[in-house]
Structure 1
Amino acid sequence: MKQIEELTSLNKIEDFLQQNNMSFLYISRQECSVCHAVLPQLRELLDHYPLIRLGHIDANVVPEVAAAYNILTVPVLLYFIEGQEVLRKARFIHFDELAEQIEKIVELNK
């Protein structure tokens, strides 16, 4: 499964986005049952994209992430290319649709 990097501050999030051309942020909370179901599916999907790095933020550990990235619910998936957000999914994620969208974005950025 795709490796995941724990990001525990806004500075670490910003560094992660700057250091990786293509990056995915997964924002969750420990007590969120939907979050626990989404993460393994996301990791499996991103296995097909070795150039996309995956970072995880626990919104309980980094509460300021909500204001910094306009997050109203969890889980939230944010896909960045060169530090710019290109895709956002929240709460109930349709993985077939997400896979198609990621594929299109990756193809456009080759």
Structure 2
Amino acid sequence: MREFEDLTSLETVDTFIQNSKLSFIYISKNNCSVCHGLLPQVQALMEKYPNIALGHVNVDTVEEIVGRFNIFTAPVLLLFVNGKEYIREARIVHMDLFEQKIDKIYENVVGP
């Protein structure tokens, strides 16, 4: 299973987003049952998309992420294409709809 890179500062988050054509960030917090329950599902889904760089940010560690990305709840799933946010899902994520959104973008950026 693909691992998420731990991003521990706002600078590493920005560098991570800028260094990949496709980048995905999973934002969670401590003591969040939804965050911990959803992560393995997202991790399994991302196996389908080898060209997406995977990052993880803990809000309790990188508190500035809240202001940078207007985070109001957790978890938050963000997909960036060439540094621009294309998908944002938060809290309750319908995995089948999320997968359809990623499929469309991935096919357009990477190809079939």
Q: For each residue in 1:28-65, what CA deviation from the matched residue of structure 2 results, as whole angstroms up to 9, or x when unmatched?
A: 00110000011000010000000001100000000110
Percent identity between matched residues is 45
**Cα offset, 1:108, TM superposition:** 1.7
Structure 1's consecutive aligned runs of 4 or more residues displaced over 3 angstroms after TM superposition are none
Matched, 1:12 2:12: yes
TM-score after normalising by structure 2: 0.96
3-state SS, counterpart of residue 2 of structure 2: coil
- Structure 2 CA distance for aligned equivalents of residues 106 and 48 of structure 1: 10
- Structure 2 CA distance for aligned equivalents of residues 33 and 19 of structure 1: 31
3-state SS, counterpart of residue 87 of structure 2: strand
In the alignment, which residue of structure 1 is the partner of 2:39?
39
3-state SS, counterpart of residue 87 of structure 1: strand
**Cα offset, 1:27, TM superposition:** 0.3
Letter of the 1:106 counterpart: Y
TM-score after normalising by structure 1: 0.97
- Structure 1 CA distance for aligned equivalents of residues 2 and 104 of structure 2: 20
State how 1:1-110 maps to structure 2 within 5 Å: 1-110=1-110
- Structure 1 CA distance for aligned equivalents of residues 38 and 18 of structure 2: 25
Q: For each residue in 1:1-45, what CA deviation from the matched residue of structure 2 results, as whole angstroms up to 9, or x when unmatched?
A: 122100000000001011111010000001100000110000100
Q: Which runs of 5+ in 2 are unaligned?
A: none
Q: Which runs of 5+ in 1 are unaligned?
A: none
What is the aligned residue count?
Answer: 110
Letter of the 2:71 counterpart: I
